[in-house]
Structure 1
């Protein structure tokens, strides 16, 4: 899939979602000397001069070099065809791709129209290692521990497991909280074979992910912890979003993790 670019760099970037990640990305886009064309968000207000669009439409994406989605899986699915028919996409709500029909349609649309889907690593350091080893992997599991509030759950007095099963079902149960799991599944052995566990712990102020990987002649564990400032997003993810944006803007084209 070849991506459109201007002199190897995207110049006009649009956003779907204008929360914590969206605002950080918008600031970074401007620091890079690029233009934030608009942010599609039904409720957000912008004090930084960003144009906010409330309702999506196909013509919005004409002349855009890259769309960064940082809203919800539902918003991504609603816009994905219109986006990929016209430009490149970097989505953060990767739980949307737990639906095989959505994933295959996205890849097909991007290929037919010559556009790229960039999969950001988000909070997962080492995702490239999982991607590189995917052909020899036999087991992948992820344990995420967050506060009940970060998971959108009522308060509890002690840690408890609120989900255990395949990652596909985890994405359906917690679509806003397990994009990490979706990224690992996409990079590795898929949504049905990847095992997910989600723990609600009232004593933590971090989002912690422990990823265990086994394969032919290989075994490693990733332990990643990021402080949260409220909501579902940790401190590290917006920073990694800017790093991913840098890599995309410097080189458009091909299905790749960034």
Structure 2
């Protein structure tokens, strides 16, 4: 409900107002959302005449309703792990182009995303690796990774290292930063951007995001451009999302004023 509260508190200052709020659990809207703003059927979004739909629910909502959302408004995908599914990415890119609405990808905890996208646009990006380190209690894992008993981890442990596409379905709530990176690095995509997921019990209230960018070799000297950054994001014990990421989402929303029928990183 962070974004709902933020819009109600500061929306007027930025000419932003709520068109509707939907939640998988209806009772979660009862205290903070007025009755006339509550939406109970996502098939009715067009009737609310929103300019921007912000999804911060679950990747399954993007897969199921993303095209319908883009037919009605611009769409900010807060669960970009949904786009690791090739069919979903293809359908949403196509719908954005067809309807002239923008498919927005928020930077979230990804530092330097716009720079990565610019390198991809110039075809000078040759490698990207994103390492996310969190306390074992901060993970919500599915698939093969859910078989790991995280409660017995006593030291820094690598849970996964490999293409981001395979990781997204196993940690859909934890690796949105990696998915955003794969979308920004569009010449590499989900298959060539490497994700590393690390559980570290010595970090009870921090989320670390390490980004390693590799450029193409200089044609004369063979020297290779590279950048390494670390984002240390304060987080409540056991939290899936770090504290600074919420503010980043609010900043992303203020950028979403319409950028044509394409994907736009914000």
User: Cα distance 1:21–1:222, how it changes in 2: closer, same or farther (>3 A)?
Assistant: farther
Structure with the greater alpha carbon radius of gyration: 2
* 5+ long unaligned stretches in structure 2: 142-149, 217-223
1:79 pairs with one of 62, 65, 69: 65
Question: Whole-Å Cα distance in 1 between the matches of residues 94 and 15 of structure 2?
Answer: 32
Could you tell me which residue of structure 2 aligns to residue 60 of structure 1? Answer: 45
Describe how 1:45-56 pairs up with structure 2 within 5 A.
45-50=29-34, 51-56=37-42
User: Cα distance 1:55–1:148, how it changes in 2: closer, same or farther (>3 A)?
Assistant: farther
Question: Whole-Å Cα distance in 1 between the matches of residues 56 and 24 of structure 2?
Answer: 13
Could you tell me which residue of structure 2 aligns to residue 145 of structure 1? Answer: 133
Could you tell me which residue of structure 2 aligns to residue 170 of structure 1? Answer: 167
Could you tell me which residue of structure 1 aligns to residue 252 of structure 2? Answer: 244
Q: Are 2:264 and 1:256 aligned? A: yes
Describe how 1:76-225 pairs up with structure 2 within 5 A.
76-134=62-120, 135-152=123-140, 154-155=150-151, 156-188=153-185, 189-204=188-203, 205-216=205-216, 217-225=224-232
Describe how 1:7-18 pairs up with structure 2 within 5 A.
none
The alignment covers a number of residue pairs equal to 238
Which digits, 9 at most, give the CA deviation of each residue in 1:143-201, with x for residues without a partner?
11011111136423222111111100110210111010011111112110111110111
Question: Whole-Å Cα distance in 2 between the matches of residues 26 and 68 of structure 1?
Answer: 15
**8 Å Cα contact 1:142-1:196 kept in structure 2:** yes
- What is the TM-score of this pair, normalised by structure 1? 0.85
CA RMSD of aligned residues (A): 1.9
Identify, as 1 or 2, the structure richer in helix.
2
Measure how far apart 1:87 and its partner are: 1.0
Measure how far apart 1:48 and its partner are: 3.0
Which digits, 9 at most, give the CA deviation of each residue in 1:1-54, with x for residues without a partner?
xxxxxxxxxxxxxxxxxx445544564435434321211112123433343334
